[in-house]
Amino acid sequence: MPTQIWIDLSLVDNGFADGTYIGAGPFLNPVSGTSSFIWKHLLPGKVHYYRLNALVGDRWFLLGSSRFETPDCNVVRAITCNSSIPTAGVSFVVPPATRSGAGTVATEQWLDLSLFDSGFAPGTFMGTGPLSPSGTSFFWPGILPAQRHHFRVNTDYGAAGWRAAASGSFESLNCYGLPEDISLPL
């Protein structure tokens, strides 16, 4: 059984060379109590590389490693994994609609999601709504893991037409092969 578990984090994909990563730990074996960790103050919109290591006796074992991209923190607030399926989920904050250039008030908003950078051409995206033009939060479960997704908040101004209030992209987490059992050889 591991006596310590550490998480190492780097902005550089260089095999965790000395001096290029920071570590957090030691954590207890999840069986003993520690099962999650929130790393605060990460840079938004950056790719981070991580590895999870366990100390058994006097030997270190790699439990897993991967990469993730932090969200923009404006519209995309959090990206999660459901490793039992495996799928990802994303938490959005849909901003309040502003008046159009002609002063028209918004009647509704929709949140659109696509795997294609196609300008949201018909048939290339899914949408959810109508959402309140005064703004809201929305959790979208069941999205594909380890994929670039494009989003937009699309606002309806009635006779003045539709306008994208916000748009961007994010990479969903790779939810495959996450360590759930950290039994290691002794």
User: What pLDDT is attached to residue 103?
Assistant: 73
Residue 116, C-beta contacts closer than 8 angstroms, at least 6 positions apart: 124, 125, 150
pLDDT tens for the chain, residues 1 to 186: 778 889 999 999 999 999 999 999 888 665 555 566 778 888 888 999 999 888 888 999 998 888 889 988 889 998 988 767 888 999 999 999 987 777 788 999 999 999 999 999 999 999 999 999 999 999 999 999 999 999 999 999 988 889 998 999 999 988 876 555 444 444
- Which tokens sit at 122? 């018909």
User: What pLDDT is attached to residue 38?
Assistant: 79
Give the three-state DSSP class for 31: helix
End-to-end CA distance of the chain: 7
Q: How many residues does the chain have?
A: 186
User: What pLDDT is attached to residue 184?
Assistant: 43
User: What pLDDT is attached to residue 27?
Assistant: 80
User: What pLDDT is attached to residue 22?
Assistant: 95
Q: Which of 118, 107, 112, 96 is nearest to 154 (CA)?
A: 112
User: What pLDDT is attached to residue 185?
Assistant: 45
In whole angstroms, how far apart are CA 51 and each of 15, 33, 113, 169, 182? Answer: 10, 20, 30, 25, 14
